[in-house]
Structure 1
Amino acid sequence: MIILEFKAYGNKSQYQSIDEAIRTMKFVRNSCLRLWMDNKGLNKYDLNKYCKTLAKNFPFANELNSTARQAAAERAWSSISRFFDNCKKKVPGKKGFPNFQKNCRSVEYKQSGWKISPDQKSITFTDKKGIGKLKLKGTWDLWRFDKKQIKRVRIVKRADGYYVQFCVSVEVKEQLVPADATVGLDVGLKDFYTDSRGKTEPNPRFYRTGEKRLKFYQRRVSRKKKGSTNRRKAVNRLGRQHLKISRQREEHAKRLARCVVRSNDLIAYEDLRVKNLVKNHCLAKSINDAGWYQFRKWLEHFGTKFGRVTVAVNPAYTSQNCSGCGEVVKKSLSTRTHTCRCGCELDRDHNAAINILNRALGTVGHTGTWIIDSNASGDLASTVLGFGQAQQVESMIEESPRL
């Protein structure tokens, strides 16, 4: 599955109709959630049936396409099933009990309620909300795919306008020539990552760079009167600045992940729990700014696309253990150089990256010999078997047209 995104252009009345459709989507979703709370033992089919009842009782809900109402009920059931799964798995902490949605920014249609023009440059929504025909602007051509392959159509509202997303059922796989290389990655705050060969990638720190402008727009918001048009404009300008930073971070992680996956047959990285790491209030802003989760997500996606092996290993003691002899050398976060009695002296992150690679090689099934010269460049020679047996982690496929 891939997601193709286009910028949508219309007039003011069409944008108001989209906002009304989004509010209706939120109403149906919250109503289904209330029904589940008041009646125990309901399943997702009961929630879908309840959509028909809502359409009879509320005229504005009847104006929305029936498949869009079903998609709203599916959203409610998705939050319910996730809560049940967390309870069964005994996830520590809060289990994520479903809450009523306050802010909704999208409305989703299935395979009805919309029609693409013959030139593939516009889309018309045929329900009674009055959205009508929207012009599409993007780099992907929809003519490459059959209409039956489009499973969902979603209208998304963002700070800089409205977008139409097409969820297309298509295989996205490419066969590459083996690179005869393996690499371990250790992500950090000083450098974005350090690999097992000693190479580093600088951390761009997009949020830190744009923080001055964010503070400027935030002051403009606080100076405006609440409920005024000027305040709404100031909030929109602030949101556009946040959106710019998030896009920069996502694109940076995407391009780095693609380059790493294409250059190596096996990529090892830490299985970090970012949600727990950001509980450290001294480092939370820097950790969120680094975008480690986005980088891992794209590594797994491109690993599946290009047929590469991606392995997430336990990060425990990867910085403390010596990559040369395996002895534990305790060090604080301020100690940036690893020095062992065996003569191994490496940068802290370089040592951790080698340990991560060694664990990954043992995970996927390693036969043969590997040699790591701790005092040299950190290159390794290995024979890795069983690539086809490694389990690739399924990821959300959402790729930029430029890739």
Structure 2
Amino acid sequence: MLVFEFKSNGKQNQYNAVDEAIRTAQFIRNSCLRYWMDHKKVSRHDLNKYCAVLARDFPFASELNSMARQSSAERAWSAISRFYDNCKKNVPGKKGYPNFQKDCRSVEYKTSGWKLADDRKSITFTDKKGIGKLKLKGTRDLHFYQINQIKRVRLVKRADGVYIQFCVDVNRKENTEPNGTTIGLDVGLKEYYTDSNGTTVENPRFLIKGDQVLKRAQRRVSRKVKGSNNRGKARQILGKRHLKISRQRKDHAIKLARCVISSNDVVVYEDLRIKNMVQNHCLAKSINDASWYQFRVWLQYFGKVFERVTVAVNPQYTSQECSSCGENVKKSLSTRTHVCKCGCVLDRDENAARNILSRGLGTVGHTGTFALDASNASGELTATLTGEILSEQVSS
């Protein structure tokens, strides 16, 4: 599945209709969740049937396309099934009991309720919400794909406007020759990552660099009267500042992950638990700014596209063990150089990257040779599946 995104160009009354469609989708999702709470043994099929009951009882719900209503019900079921899975797996702590959605920003159509123009430059939404025809602004060319390949169409509201996403049913593959190289990655806060060859990549720190602009925009919001138009304009400016930083992180992660995957046959990285790491309030802001999880997701995605092997290993004691002799050399976070009695002197992160690579190669069973057959190599991927909720999948 590929997701192509375009910015929409319409009038204010059309954007008001988009807001109404999004609020209706949120209402249906929360209503289905309430129906599940009040009744026992409710299945996904029962929630889809309940959408017809909501459309009959509420006129504003009937104005939304029937498949868009089913998509909202599927969003509720996605939260429910995730809760069931966590309970079955005995996940420690909270199991993620489904909550009512307070701020929905998208509505999803399936194969009906919209019509794409012949020149692929505009799209018309044909349900009774009154959205009408919206022009598409973007560089992607939809002429390469048939209409029946478009499985989902989403309207996404962001701080700088309304975007339209097309989910196209196509498998993306890029044929590359194996180069016989392997690499281990150790991510950090000082350097974004250090590989097993000693190469480092600078941490961009987008949030830290834009912190002053964000604080100034936040002060402007605080000074405005609640409910006023000026406060709404200030909130929109603040949202655009946050959106810019978010896009910078994503762009950095995509370009870096593609470069790493296309240059190596085997990529080994740390299986970090970011949720636990951010509990340290002294480092939480820097860890979130680094966006390690997003980098990992794109490593997995491009591993599938380029048919490379990606391996996640347990990072425990990778900084303490000596990559040369295996001796455990204890050191604090402030100690940046690994010195072992065997004579091995390395940068702390490079030593960890070598240990990560060693563990990864032991996992996939490569001993003695690093040459791989690209036709048999397979990467990890959290894919966007047909019939699943796009908001619950990894964005691509």
Please report the TM-score for the alignment, with normalisation by the length of structure 2. Answer: 0.96
Within 5 Å, which residues of 2 pair with 1:278-357?
278-357=278-357
- Number of the residue aligned with 2:67: 67
- Number of the residue aligned with 1:174: 174
One-letter amino acid of the structure 2 residue matched with residue 256 of structure 1: L
Structure 1 Cα separation of the partners of residues 88 and 376 of structure 2: 28
SS in 2 for 1:157: strand
Within 5 Å, which residues of 2 pair with 1:71-82?
71-82=71-82
> C-alpha displacement at 1:391, in angstroms?
5.6
Q: Which runs of 5+ in 1 are unaligned?
A: 369-381
- Number of the residue aligned with 1:395: 382
Structure 1 Cα separation of the partners of residues 312 and 371 of structure 2: 17
Please say if residues 63 and 127 of structure 2, whose CA atoms lie closer than 8 Å, have aligned partners that are also in contact: yes
Please say if residues 307 and 377 of structure 2, whose CA atoms lie closer than 8 Å, have aligned partners that are also in contact: no
- Number of the residue aligned with 2:125: 125
- Number of the residue aligned with 2:105: 105
Structure 2 Cα separation of the partners of residues 246 and 270 of structure 1: 23
Structure 1 Cα separation of the partners of residues 92 and 345 of structure 2: 38
- Number of the residue aligned with 1:374: none
Per-residue CA distance 1:299-324 (angstroms, 9 max, x = gap): 00000000010000110110000000
Structure 2 Cα separation of the partners of residues 353 and 386 of structure 1: 24
Q: How many pairs are equivalent?
A: 387
Please say if residues 180 and 371 of structure 2, whose CA atoms lie closer than 8 Å, have aligned partners that are also in contact: no
Within 5 Å, which residues of 2 pair with 1:54-203?
54-203=54-203
Please say if residues 28 and 54 of structure 2, whose CA atoms lie closer than 8 Å, have aligned partners that are also in contact: yes
Structure 2 Cα separation of the partners of residues 290 and 388 of structure 1: 34
Structure 1 Cα separation of the partners of residues 82 and 290 of structure 2: 27
Please say if residues 364 and 390 of structure 1, whose CA atoms lie closer than 8 Å, have aligned partners that are also in contact: no
SS in 1 for 2:41: coil
> C-alpha displacement at 1:367, in angstroms?
2.5
- Number of the residue aligned with 1:231: 231
One-letter amino acid of the structure 2 residue matched with residue 165 of structure 1: Q
SS in 2 for 1:242: helix
Please say if residues 265 and 372 of structure 2, whose CA atoms lie closer than 8 Å, have aligned partners that are also in contact: no
Within 5 Å, which residues of 2 pair with 1:25-40?
25-40=25-40
Structure 2 Cα separation of the partners of residues 62 and 355 of structure 1: 59
One-letter amino acid of the structure 2 residue matched with residue 323 of structure 1: S
Q: Which runs of 5+ in 2 are unaligned?
A: 385-393
One-letter amino acid of the structure 2 residue matched with residue 41 of structure 1: K
One-letter amino acid of the structure 2 residue matched with residue 16 of structure 1: N
Per-residue CA distance 1:317-362 (angstroms, 9 max, x = gap): 1000000000000001010000000000000000000000001111
SS in 1 for 2:134: strand
Structure 2 Cα separation of the partners of residues 388 and 364 of structure 1: 16
SS in 1 for 2:92: coil
Structure 1 Cα separation of the partners of residues 372 and 5 of structure 2: 39
Give the superposed CA RMSD. Answer: 1.3
Structure 2 Cα separation of the partners of residues 6 and 166 of structure 1: 8
Percentage identity across paired residues of the two chains: 67
One-letter amino acid of the structure 2 residue matched with residue 225 of structure 1: V
Please say if residues 179 and 371 of structure 2, whose CA atoms lie closer than 8 Å, have aligned partners that are also in contact: no
- Number of the residue aligned with 1:216: 216
Please say if residues 364 and 386 of structure 1, whose CA atoms lie closer than 8 Å, have aligned partners that are also in contact: no
Please report the TM-score for the alignment, with normalisation by the length of structure 1. Answer: 0.94
SS in 2 for 1:91: coil
> C-alpha displacement at 1:387, in angstroms?
7.1
Structure 1 Cα separation of the partners of residues 96 and 133 of structure 2: 39
SS in 1 for 2:210: helix
SS in 1 for 2:5: strand
Structure 2 Cα separation of the partners of residues 58 and 88 of structure 1: 36
Structure 2 Cα separation of the partners of residues 95 and 14 of structure 1: 40
> C-alpha displacement at 1:395, in angstroms?
2.1
Single out whichever of 383-392 and 164-173 deviates more from structure 2.
383-392
Structure 2 Cα separation of the partners of residues 396 and 136 of structure 1: 26
Per-residue CA distance 1:61-110 (angstroms, 9 max, x = gap): 00000000000000000000000000001111110000000000000000
One-letter amino acid of the structure 1 residue matched with residue 68 of structure 2: A
The answer to whether structure 1 residue 383 and structure 2 residue 370 are counterparts is yes
> C-alpha displacement at 1:179, in angstroms?
1.6
> C-alpha displacement at 1:386, in angstroms?
7.7
> C-alpha displacement at 1:177, in angstroms?
1.1
- Number of the residue aligned with 1:372: none
Structure 1 Cα separation of the partners of residues 332 and 61 of structure 2: 59
> C-alpha displacement at 1:393, in angstroms?
1.9
Please say if residues 193 and 201 of structure 1, whose CA atoms lie closer than 8 Å, have aligned partners that are also in contact: yes
Please say if residues 26 and 72 of structure 1, whose CA atoms lie closer than 8 Å, have aligned partners that are also in contact: yes
Structure 2 Cα separation of the partners of residues 383 and 116 of structure 1: 48
One-letter amino acid of the structure 1 residue matched with residue 218 of structure 2: Q
One-letter amino acid of the structure 2 residue matched with residue 123 of structure 1: I
- Number of the residue aligned with 2:250: 250
Structure 1 Cα separation of the partners of residues 132 and 124 of structure 2: 5
> C-alpha displacement at 1:384, in angstroms?
5.0
One-letter amino acid of the structure 2 residue matched with residue 267 of structure 1: V
Per-residue CA distance 1:5-33 (angstroms, 9 max, x = gap): 00001000000000000000000000000
Structure 1 Cα separation of the partners of residues 379 and 278 of structure 2: 27
SS in 1 for 2:74: helix
